[in-house]
Amino acid sequence: MTPSPETGWLARWKRDLAAAIEEGGGRHDEVEIYGGELGDPGLAGGPDSMSWEIHGDLASLVVAGTAAILMELLHPSVMAGVFTHSAYRTDPLRRARNTLGYVLRTTFGNTAAATRVIEGVKKVHSRIEGTRPDGVPYRALDPELIGWVHTAIPWAVMTAYDRYRRPLSREEKDRYLREQALIGRMGGAERVPESVDELEAYVERMRPLLSMNEQTHSFLDFLAGRTDDFPIGARERFDRWVAIRASMSLMPEWAQRLTGTWQPSLVQRLWLRPADQLKARIVRWVYPELPCKQMALARATGRRLETTEIAAA
């Protein structure tokens, strides 16, 4: 991160916020992943790609995170896999760090490291299988499930960037989805949307397969702090109530209603969206430039990154 001139309490507040963001999301500055052979653009298209622009904005990733996860879990097979095999209840931050790490590494990592990350996650997924509460068998490497989880992430992130950073043209959105589709296919998906039209048609096709069940309600209760896993106070519960609804406001109304997170449009416009706009601005103030993007830029353009720049990042 580039040091900024703030001093006193403002500087301390910024440092505390950076520490809190890093605790939740990790640092993502490993030289062996983001450095590497000069001229290597990585998997997602390199410095001129939409993926680099959009994923370089940590604020959009933060704001979109909850919506992406909830959309993934509306598929009961994904929900069953996570409910049964994931450590989210005992170590929720690890899951957030790993997912953010996956997006950043596949975008900014050198080609070999990004490919290794995808293969490593596939190996984890190869052990995840079972039977849903309604008796339907599932396995995480089912291309349909991988396709759905893959799609939920760029869909939510793109919508957040478009709303809170700058409006994207149709062509830019198509380009972003096309770049991301490559990562989805490498992760084991077969058909993933490569344009806004395809995304809309795909989501409509998936809709009948999505639902809320006891496991999803239990996950949502956990997220909202309504379980005994990590007891929190009324203020924190209220903040989470707002954060979940604000993030889900990125998604279509049917998804908000299905998850019980829908709020009237006045509440969305006057409260939820401004709350996420403010959150996005604060994250951007704390992290104007992601260290991994700076390192990747130096690698891809063949510019040597000075040790002081790495230390500052």
Residues interacting with ligand HEM, by CB under 6 A?
A: 77-78, 81-82, 85-88, 95, 98-99, 102, 121, 124-125, 128, 138, 140, 145-146, 149-150, 184, 187
Q: Least distance (Å) from ligand HEM to the CB of residue 115?
A: 14
- Tell me the C-alpha distance between 51 and 49, whole Å: 5
CB of 122 or CB of 165, closer to ligand HEM: 122
CB of 75 or CB of 245, closer to ligand HEM: 75
CB of 45 or CB of 184, closer to ligand HEM: 184
Phi-psi region of 252 (alpha: psi -120 to 50; beta: other; left: phi over 0): beta
DSSP state of 271: I
Q: Least distance (Å) from ligand HEM to the CB of residue 282?
A: 26
Q: Least distance (Å) from ligand HEM to the CB of residue 124?
A: 4
Beta carbons of 168 and 176 less than 8 angstroms apart: yes
CB of 36 or CB of 101, closer to ligand HEM: 101
First to last CA, the chain: 4
CB of 60 or CB of 77, closer to ligand HEM: 77
Task: Provide φ and ψ at 153, rounded to 5°.
Answer: -70, -60
Long-range CB contact pairs, 102-105, < 8 A, 24+: 103/55, 103/61, 103/153, 103/157, 104/28, 104/55, 104/290, 104/292, 105/28, 105/33, 105/292
Q: Least distance (Å) from ligand HEM to the CB of residue 208?
A: 18
Containing H/E element for 139? strand 137-139
CB of 125 or CB of 299, closer to ligand HEM: 125
Q: Least distance (Å) from ligand HEM to the CB of residue 104?
A: 11
From residue 132, alpha-carbon distances to 80, 83, 149, 221 in Å are 6, 10, 17, 19
The first and second tokens of residue 242, run together, are 């707002």
DSSP state of 138: E
Q: Least distance (Å) from ligand HEM to the CB of residue 242?
A: 25
